[in-house]
Chains A and B, each alone.
Chain A
Amino acid sequence: MVDFETMDPKEIIARRVSLEIRPKTLVNLGIGIPTLVSDHLDESLGVFFQSENGVVGLGHRPPEGMTDRHLTDAGGSFTSAVPGASIIDSAFSFGLIRGGHLDLTVLGGLQVDAKGHLANWMIPGKFVPGMGGAMDLVTGAKKVIVAMIHTAKGVSKIVPECTLPLTSQRRVNLIVTEMAVMAPLDDGLHLLETGPGYSVEEVIAATDAELVIKGDVPQMNLSLSV
């Protein structure tokens, strides 16, 4: 039995996000914590993972010594392909993303605000990695989940309004951190669940944005539903 209170915060986030993934869907996982999500997923669900560079059906890293530089993921790391996988060019790949064919994208974030706006591509004057495919993913995917650590150096990443440049004007659907699951809705940012070992008060104290709380807030259920 896994002890969720001592589990790595990143694994808690990845596991909670994995419970949002529906069978037989097309999913794009961003770099960092989102990449960990597939490890928590039952392969019998028949989910296909897409990467921006044109793989539909990413697999696990190949066995030692069997890597090939013609098959990599969106982070440039060696990958494999699952049975039934296909390869498309970059235009087709972003056609899937923008055209409403991608069921879910999971992305990391620098800031998310109470309106559900995400900022994750630059810190002006400090670090400018670029947006890569993030602007297309957030704009085009049917569902967007932000998966990130709740704070950075003790500062809340959940803010009243983003001060960093936005990735998209589209409202994300869900925000999952090690402390909370939150959903931005018309009347504000709802606290839906607390992370293992955190009270509602602790989540409120660690969050700069105002949280809408209705009734009792349950703890994350991290057990796989099967």
Chain B
Amino acid sequence: MHLAITLEEAVAMIPDGARVMLSGFMGVGTPDGLVHALAASGKKDLTMIVNDAARPDTGVGPLVTAGCVRKFIGSHIGVNPDVQEKMRSAEIEVELVPQGTLVERIRAAGMGLGGILTPTGLGTLIADGKQVIEVDGKPFLLEKPLRADFALIAARSCDYVGNLTYMLSATNFNPIMALAADVVIAEPEEIVPVGVIPPDAVKTPGILVDHVIKRTA
């Protein structure tokens, strides 16, 4: 399939029950076109790996409200009442992961590491059932890599070979998630000819990007 695809083609690629990473922090740096297209498609049983549940109308919110999500893996759900309600009624399973651990687990998967050792979570509920490993006399929690079938990425600019840039705090999880999924789909705000993005400014090399949402005139 071509690098450039439509939202419809992207949605058709993602089956029910898929594990999907979605970038963004409270909806900032989230590929909203992909979220809304997926929500409208009526997908079922998705596992969403995303920093936070945002609000019902932002970030992963529309997917939750539309009933597409079976499991949520992330660090914060405090301002999305829909997630709270669906968690209480057991419609959605929620796995809470400390934010720094979440991004490092994703990075570990993307960079070929067998996990990470972090002090975060030691002596708390988060440590339940996890291995504690001592290094030079200091205890750390072993946290395992987190991979996905798809990563949905929001970029500022994309060139014809898929090189991506991000803008300000919309960067957040994007460059990390682009490393850790079988299929990476980027939704850029603009597409520019090769050469417009200088090599030093590229934050995600195009070789990591499988598909780009094409622009409509």
Contact = CB atoms under 8 A, between A and B. Distances in A.
Nearest to A131: B98
A69 B29 CA distance: 9
B167 A132 contact: no
Contacts of A165: 124-125
Interface centre among B74, B76, B94 (most CB of A within 10 A): B76
A91 B176 contact: yes
Interface string A77-101: 0000100000111110010011000
Interface stretch (B12-20, B41-49, B113-121, B191-199): B113-121
B96 A130 contact: yes
B76 A98 contact: no
B124 A76 contact: no
Given A94-B99, A94-B103, A98-B100, A70 B120 contact: no
A21 interface: no
Contact of B118 (A76, A90, A98, A130): A98
Contact of B99 (A127, A131, A167): A131
A94 B119 CA distance: 12
A134 B99 CA distance: 8
> Interface residue tally of chain A, by bracket?
35 or more
A89 B124 contact: no
Contact of B119 (A71, A98, A133): A98
A167 B107 CA distance: 23
Contact of B28 (A70, A134, A136, A140): A70
A97 B120 CA distance: 11
Contacts of A88: 171
Given A53-B25, A128-B77, A128-B84, 6 more contacts: A55-B168, A87-B168, A94-B100, A131-B126, A136-B100, A168-B123
Interface in B56-84: 74-79, 84
Interface string B165-195: 0011111111110000000000000000000
The 5 closest A-B pairs by CB, nearest first: A129-B78, A169-B123, A76-B26, A94-B100, A136-B100
Contact of B103 (A68, A90, A135): A90
Interface residues of B, number: 46
A36 interface: no
Contact of A70 (B76, B122, B167): B167
Contacts of B122: 139, 168-169
Contacts of A71: 168-169
B104 to A, nearest CB: 7
A77 B14 CA distance: 32
Given A89-B172, A128-B84, A136-B100, A75 B123 contact: no
Nearest to A52: B99
B159 interface: no
B103 A130 contact: no
Interface string B80-99: 00001001000000101011
A214 to B, nearest CB: 29
A135 B121 contact: yes
Given A76-B25, A168-B123, A135 B98 contact: yes
